[in-house]
Structure 1
Amino acid sequence: MTVSKVFTTRSLSSLTKVFPDVELMEKPINTGSALLNETYSFQVAYKGCQLMKQIVVKVYSDIKEKVTVRTVGLVPSELPCYHDHDDIILRSTPGLYPDPLYPIADKEGIVAFPGQWRSIWVTVNVDEDTVPGIHDIKIEFQTNNGEVLGEEIFQLEVIPAKLPEQTLIHTQWFHTDCIATLYDVEVFSEAHWERIDQFVKTAVDHGINMILTPLFTPPLDTEIGGERPTVQLVGVEKLGQHYKFNFDKLERWIELCRTHGIQYFEFSHLFTQWGAKHAPKIMGYEQGEYKRLFGWETDAAGAEYQEFLGQFLPELVAFIQSHHLEKQSYFHISDEPSLGDLDSYQKASETIQQYLKEFPIIDALSDYPFYEKGYVKNPIPANNHIEPFLENGVDNLWTYYCCAQYKKVSNRFFSMPSFRNRVLGMQLYKFNIAGFLHWGYNFWYAQYSKKPIDPFKNTDADYAFASGDAFLVYPGESGPIESIRLEVLYEGLQDLRALRLLEEYAGKERVIELLEENLEEKITFSEYPLDLEWYLQKRRQVNSEIKKWVCSKV
């Protein structure tokens, strides 16, 4: 830790959120460990006694080429949490919260504000070529004329074992229309495809291996009777009672996503949200006119839409088969139906099963009867409603959280400590969860998609969802701006992979025993340690155990 009359620094883990308006209480953390093929992050907090601009950040290390430094930005939160929040939060007051990770421009450097703690985010990409052992990473702060203001030395131990590939299926819903709107480009123009490419890459780099694929404009978070901008990959032409389909855009989408490493495609919902009562918006040509063929006015169980699905789905299945996507394709019926929607959901499910019985049908829903009655074979209950599904031994169980899961369970709001984000990986591991879903990778609209918002200024979807729920990335001028929450979530996924590696050596029973050692309560989706240092120490313990096993076999 550097302390001088004009400049102070402190090395911290990735799990601390540094606020500008409170004194930094966390003790320095200067060591850590990582496996090969892992991304490791830490922070260096700093503050000046006066306004200081153009501070240069230098990295000195034998693995310097693997180190990236960004500055942690602040964004406003007017709705950091709900009125009946639990106690597992950092603060409930509106204000500036640390979240976006901005590249540091060479000429501009960073700024120190008088008496305000700020931080930089240091990312180490420990690839397979990194030499195992301890590596010093010195972070030095200089004035623009080379005078040293302060420095921190972080020691990272690289363990000689490779982090295995992720087996968890992970989707954060990819809102293609939001990209077109915020970048002011025509949907599926070349400029739009370039932006899609950027955001897909960032998603894959952070453990997202499934992508929401808009066969038709996804009927998600849309006001009843309203509509979102059209993002439709399938071309449709109506010829009397028959339909003609064009899959060229869908083919391009799949090729682009596969190039970056997307492994699974979840095709957009075939019925409207909250009950499957209507058809999604489907545009197409009829007698030379491009118009809406189906939408809110369409009865989901009506003969017209049933006929459309009867012609469309067999051709889509043929497309899937011709592109060898049979084991990578997933379908949705309707998002978040309630018990009052059992009848309409049943009808929609029966329709879909006629054509898609060989494919997984996945839907976010939390009422067990949907599964019990056989209406959905692959339910995705919220993490605060998952117990009945666990107790009944549902195979290949997934889970999700969103705005409503804010009491006790893991989540990612600005106001929550980062360990509440990271613990998800350990929970998914313990309970053998096959997939994780979240609705907001990049939802940059107001609630119900009524209007676009500027996510750098409006972080709660226009006073709808607690800040942090709607998106994990920001629309930067040159491409995606990542967030603290995205990086920490990925750390949780890496914890999951490390635990699975240790399981290969020691067995699952021993891994769970190690995880829960000396805990008063066993880890569940609502019970977990509330101390950020526990997570750092536990991961180092897991790495140490892996190292022992690897070295014993040499």
Structure 2
Amino acid sequence: MSLVLKTRTLSSLSKVFADEELLQPSFTSASAFGNETYSFQVAYRSSMLLKSVQVQVRSELKEIISLRTVELVPSEMPWMHDADHHVLRTTPGLYPDPLFPLDGTEGLVLFPGQWRSLWVTVALNEQVAPGAYEIAIDFLNADGGVLSSERLELEVLPALLPDQKLKHTEWFHVDCLAVHYGVEVFSERHWELIDQFVDTAARHGINMILTPVFTPPLDTAIGAERPTVQLVDVEKTGSSYKFGFDKLKRWVDLCTERGIQYFEFSHLFTQWGAKHAPKIVASENGEYRKLFGWETDANSEEYRSFLTQFIQELLVFIKDNDLTERSYFHNSDEPRIQDMEQYRSISEFTKKHLGSFPIIDALSDYAFYEQGLVQLPIPANNHIEPFIENGVKPLWTYYCVSQRNLVSNRFFNMPSARNRIIGMQLYKFDAEGFLHWGYNFWFSQYSKRPINPFQITDADHSFPSGDAFLVYPGEDGPIESIRMEVFYEALQDLRALQLLESFIGRDQVVAMLEEGLDQPITFSEYPRSMEWLLEKREQINRAITQHVAAVQ
């Protein structure tokens, strides 16, 4: 039977394509800290069609090991014409990405001549004693006979990673949940789904959440609307407003229970220019209607009166719920240099009312910060150099569709090492935060129509596959992705570097990171290979272990 099935153990940074020969050598040993989530893969290829192949785990760690299949999804647009070639391929086709729980009853289907892979996750929980543990993954036929077996030795190290310091947000689109699952907004079923997707986010290092006090004015065609998802109830009487915060309170409590530490309240003005109000609905004289939207001038007296009253009441809610140190605000997303005077106008207004509360906005022109229009800018990682050179602190960054040359990103066609390197970059430049716009954006560009993310992965031919979402909508809740797991590994790398810093200092850690490199690490210059990244992490682990032993 050994001629029928070939298997190979791989790191989490390999991407296994069904139509491509597997060239990576076996990956058989690694180390991890006692509270780390460690992942690797087992690739397999059969010479014939085999069904109901069972997989078993043999290990002392079996109870904390989960198996998932790496499934394939289509990409019509994996690459754009002006992107670099630091990618695995540029052709359309089937790409490995979603991670489905292994069906223990049905087992695996092995397609003839196709390499596929299993994703193996070891969720170390601080209860495992330090030491070396063998993990065996067996493939069994219908009679229980072993078709093939792979092994990895995992050394659990005698230390724990520190808590995550980085503020990390992936924008959560609750309207996409309601539309895809066909449930009423803020119905009990919707709250159940919100809970599931927030839990998955928090377990992957997302500790800040976009909070839709009003329907977020993001990626919406001018003049069009996204489904209403407004956590704050509004009642209008004449020129006065009353606000109800019951749903917002439920949101805060739910997210806090799941581990969310910070709340970023949705943008107070529209995207790409800050010229209009977000959609805001209210009750007036017994009628539920839209008060503000695209037709509302952002500078109008009526809207500013509304915002003044709203912010006053929201700040009381924040204080009453001990959220003062956990709250962030947005003006407008991605204002352009030609929008500077309008941004100045709304920025002066919000600063007057929000006082010392941090206002964060994704924008990449240093002039906005230089002129004092935003206190906490979030530049893209391909526009971050002026912010670094001028010592902007706290430093944040983001990437999205436009960051497709030289810098880190996580499109389907990019090597996973290009995803994971961000952790070391964030460490070197002492970043406080990272933002991304697409946790679960399952609409076409400009939110014109819903899409099925298992079939359309490029926001309807608009963004390279992998930009718009990290999770898929499974029947029973979120389906995670390779890209989500690898980004979390980047966050664990960051925490490991911070742990090492506690022993040897920041300068020596950076020197270790850059040892042997021709150029210092920047957001566009960095080692490209998975081998370098994996070996560097092992070097960091060994250094930490030596210092832990020295102080015991």
Match of 1:164 in 2: 162
Match of 1:280 in 2: 278
Identity %: 63
Query: How far, CA to CA, are the matches of 1:393 and 1:445 in structure 2?
Result: 38
- Say whether residues 1:226 and 2:224 are aligned partners: yes
Match of 1:106 in 2: 104
Query: How far, CA to CA, are the matches of 2:82 and 2:220 in structure 1?
Result: 26
In structure 2, what residue type is equivalent to 1:114?
A: P
Unaligned runs of 5+ in 1: none
Query: Which runs of structure 2 are paired with 1:108-187 in the superposition (5 Å)?
Result: 108-187=106-185
Query: Which runs of structure 2 are paired with 1:181-220 in the superposition (5 Å)?
Result: 181-220=179-218
Query: How far, CA to CA, are the matches of 2:183 and 2:88 in structure 1?
Result: 38
Query: How far, CA to CA, are the matches of 2:286 and 2:395 in structure 1?
Result: 46
- Say whether residues 1:29 and 2:27 are aligned partners: yes
- Say whether residues 1:17 and 2:15 are aligned partners: yes
Query: How far, CA to CA, are the matches of 2:223 and 2:269 in structure 1?
Result: 14
Query: How far, CA to CA, are the matches of 1:87 and 1:511 in structure 2?
Result: 31
Query: Which runs of structure 2 are paired with 1:420-431 in the superposition (5 Å)?
Result: 420-431=418-429
CA RMSD of aligned residues (A): 0.7
The one of 359, 372, 391 equivalent to 1:361 is: 359
The one of 468, 480, 493 equivalent to 2:478 is: 480
- Say whether residues 1:59 and 2:57 are aligned partners: yes
In structure 1, what residue type is equivalent to 2:511?
A: E
Match of 1:494 in 2: 492
Match of 1:290 in 2: 288
Secondary structure of the 2:189 match is helix
Bigger shift: residues 144-153 or 116-125: 144-153
Query: How far, CA to CA, are the matches of 1:546 and 1:34 in structure 2?
Result: 11
Query: Which runs of structure 2 are paired with 1:146-545 in the superposition (5 Å)?
Result: 146-545=144-543
Query: How far, CA to CA, are the matches of 2:223 and 2:34 in structure 1?
Result: 51
The one of 61, 70, 77 equivalent to 1:72 is: 70
Query: How far, CA to CA, are the matches of 1:490 and 1:463 in structure 2?
Result: 27
- Say whether residues 1:85 and 2:108 are aligned partners: no
How far 1:306 moved relative to its partner?
Answer: 0.6
Match of 2:544 in 1: 546
Query: How far, CA to CA, are the matches of 1:464 and 1:158 in structure 2?
Result: 43
How far 1:522 moved relative to its partner?
Answer: 1.1
How far 1:110 moved relative to its partner?
Answer: 1.1
Deviation readout 1:195-234 (Å, 9 max, x if unpaired) = 0000000000000000000000000000000010000000
Deviation readout 1:471-527 (Å, 9 max, x if unpaired) = 000000011000000000000000000000000001111111111111112110001
Query: How far, CA to CA, are the matches of 2:138 and 2:282 in structure 1?
Result: 59
* Moved beyond 6 Å, runs of 4+: none
Query: How far, CA to CA, are the matches of 2:235 and 2:343 in structure 1?
Result: 28
Query: How far, CA to CA, are the matches of 2:486 and 2:302 in structure 1?
Result: 47
Query: How far, CA to CA, are the matches of 1:172 and 1:130 in structure 2?
Result: 31
Unaligned runs of 5+ in 2: none
Secondary structure of the 1:162 match is coil
How far 1:4 moved relative to its partner?
Answer: 2.0
Query: How far, CA to CA, are the matches of 1:332 and 1:227 in structure 2?
Result: 19
Deviation readout 1:409-458 (Å, 9 max, x if unpaired) = 00000000000000000000000000000000000000000000000000
How far 1:354 moved relative to its partner?
Answer: 1.4
Query: How far, CA to CA, are the matches of 1:384 and 1:85 in structure 2?
Result: 13
Bigger shift: residues 163-172 or 122-131: 122-131
How far 1:394 moved relative to its partner?
Answer: 0.7
How far 1:290 moved relative to its partner?
Answer: 0.5
Query: How far, CA to CA, are the matches of 2:383 and 2:281 in structure 1?
Result: 36
Query: How far, CA to CA, are the matches of 1:401 and 1:281 in structure 2?
Result: 26
In structure 1, what residue type is equivalent to 2:401?
A: C
Query: How far, CA to CA, are the matches of 1:171 and 1:145 in structure 2?
Result: 48
Deviation readout 1:369-389 (Å, 9 max, x if unpaired) = 110111100000000000001
Match of 2:4 in 1: 6
How far 1:548 moved relative to its partner?
Answer: 0.2
Match of 1:40 in 2: 38
Give the number of aligned pairs.
552
Deviation readout 1:36-90 (Å, 9 max, x if unpaired) = 1100000000000001111111000001111001000000000001012212100
Secondary structure of the 2:158 match is strand
Deviation readout 1:130-175 (Å, 9 max, x if unpaired) = 1101000000000122111100010000110001100000000000
Secondary structure of the 1:41 match is strand
How far 1:103 moved relative to its partner?
Answer: 0.5
Secondary structure of the 2:67 match is strand
Query: How far, CA to CA, are the matches of 1:81 and 1:328 in structure 2?
Result: 38
Query: How far, CA to CA, are the matches of 1:226 and 1:100 in structure 2?
Result: 31
How far 1:240 moved relative to its partner?
Answer: 0.7
In structure 2, what residue type is equivalent to 1:489?
A: F
Query: How far, CA to CA, are the matches of 1:121 and 1:149 in structure 2?
Result: 19
Query: How far, CA to CA, are the matches of 1:85 and 1:303 in structure 2?
Result: 45
Query: How far, CA to CA, are the matches of 2:536 and 2:142 in structure 1?
Result: 40
Query: How far, CA to CA, are the matches of 2:51 and 2:508 in structure 1?
Result: 52
In structure 2, what residue type is equivalent to 1:430?
A: K
In structure 1, what residue type is equivalent to 2:268?
A: L
Secondary structure of the 1:363 match is strand
Secondary structure of the 2:502 match is helix
How far 1:355 moved relative to its partner?
Answer: 1.1
Query: How far, CA to CA, are the matches of 1:66 and 1:188 in structure 2?
Result: 34
Query: How far, CA to CA, are the matches of 2:377 and 2:325 in structure 1?
Result: 18
Query: How far, CA to CA, are the matches of 1:229 and 1:536 in structure 2?
Result: 44
How far 1:397 moved relative to its partner?
Answer: 1.0
In structure 2, what residue type is equivalent to 1:365?
A: L
Secondary structure of the 1:297 match is coil
Query: How far, CA to CA, are the matches of 2:213 and 2:64 in structure 1?
Result: 39
In structure 1, what residue type is equivalent to 2:43?
A: A
Secondary structure of the 2:210 match is strand
Match of 1:49 in 2: 47
In structure 1, what residue type is equivalent to 2:163?
A: E
In structure 1, what residue type is equivalent to 2:281?
A: M
How far 1:310 moved relative to its partner?
Answer: 1.1
